[in-house]
Amino acid sequence: MTPDLLQQGARRVAERAQQTAQKTESGGRETSYGRIANPGEVDLTHGRILYLEDVSVSFDGFKAINKLSLDIAPGELRCIIGPNGAGKTTMMDIITGKTRPDEGSVFFGSTIDLLRHNEPEIAQLGIGRKFQKPTVFEHLSVFENLELALKMPKGVKASMFFKLDSRQSDRLAEVLHTIHLAGSVRVQAGTLSHGQKQWLEIGMLLMQDPKLLLLDEPVAGMTDHETERTAELFLSLKGKHSLMVVEHDMSFIRTISDIVTVLCDGAVLAQGTLDQVQADERVIEVYLGR
Ligand SMILES: Nc1ncnc2c1ncn2[C@@H]1O[C@H](COP(=O)(O)OP(=O)(O)OP(=O)(O)O)[C@@H](O)[C@H]1O
Ligand SMILES: [Mg+2]
């Protein structure tokens, strides 16, 4: 091959690489079949909504997450269990952009590189997160809290002139029903029980119609009855949303789980049905040994 041809070939390769980089603004890579995903679109052609691969993070030399790899299918309700300090909350911090890993990759669908986005952008992309402590607006009614969840991403000025359209009103009514609060629309959030506040906060997330919901110890502090109703709620969300639920309450996990992932020392120790992982010697050891 002549030097000329070599140079032309190199130029073509460079041009193609540049075109790809320009098209994938979301920080993505090419989808399958060479299709380029639109920015923000979640590409599910590989049957996975969330991928973590070889993710590690250290805090002052301590490896809280250690080569963690895990993936979740669209519509799946994945339960995550593991002893205290296993890295469950830190994993959610990484997915939502609160903590940056030292290494590894985190993708939303096949093309959206979450490590190239900050916390608000990740929420906008369709990943909702529920922390353990309920954070509803106590002085506002149930209705106003849900309405506010729609206003919040729009900024102060747009919020002042914000009015629910009919589609949003329908969505609000649907969410009220889903979270078992249809009979408490005008009730001040501060007077709700702990469990009802948790449901209201989940409702606020649902108003944004997230594709993936991360829930950290959602039934902690709930009564048995509230826990049962939360299980019904999560089962009703499965299929419409993808859910990742971290919990220590095993009877709750038994009611809602298909696949359970056990985390330990920042990595996956075991995965399978609850019966399978509970029969696993390594799992028994980490639970009994601490
Ligand atoms: N910001 C931080 N700085 C220092 N250490 C941290 C930080 N965040 C987490 N850790 C440590 O990382 C480890 C994992 O913590 P993490 O909160 O993720 O565990 P967990 O599995 O959620 O536990 P639990 O079941 O008790 O909620 C712990 O040893 C914790 O002390
Ligand atoms: Mg935690």
Q: How many CA atoms lie within 13 A of 192 on its CB side?
A: 32
26 lines ligand 1 (CB under 6 A): no
290 lines ligand 1 (CB under 6 A): no
CA 72 to chain centre: 10
Ligand closest to 93 (CA) is 1
Q: What pLDDT score does 3 carry?
A: 47
Q: What is the CATH number of the domain that holds 247?
A: 3.40.50.300
Ligand closest to 216 (CA) is 2
11: which 2 tokens? 């130029």
Instruction: Domain count for the chain, please give it.
Output: 1
Residuewise pLDDT in 10s, the chain (290 residues): 444 555 555 565 555 545 544 444 444 444 444 444 555 578 898 889 999 999 999 999 999 999 999 999 999 999 999 999 999 999 999 999 999 999 999 999 999 999 999 999 999 999 999 987 778 999 999 999 999 988 765 555 555 556 778 888 899 999 999 999 999 999 999 999 999 999 999 999 999 899 999 999 999 999 999 999 999 999 999 999 999 999 999 999 999 999 999 999 999 999 999 999 999 999 999 987 65
266 lines ligand 1 (CB under 6 A): no
pTM (predicted TM-score): 0.84
**Cβ < 5 A residues, ion ligand 2:** 88-89
CA of 215 from ligand 2 middle (Å) equals: 10
**Residue whose CA lies nearest to ligand 1 atom number 31:** 85
**Residue whose CA lies nearest to ligand 1 atom number 2:** 59
As beta bridge partners, residue 264 has: 267
Structure-token match 């994945």, residue found:
78
What domain range includes position 264? 3-288
242 lines ligand 1 (CB under 6 A): no
Distance CA 189, CA 131 (A): 17
97 lines ligand 1 (CB under 6 A): no
Given a contact cutoff of 8 angstroms between Cβ atoms, the answer to whether 24 and 37 are in contact is yes
Ligand closest to 286 (CA) is 1
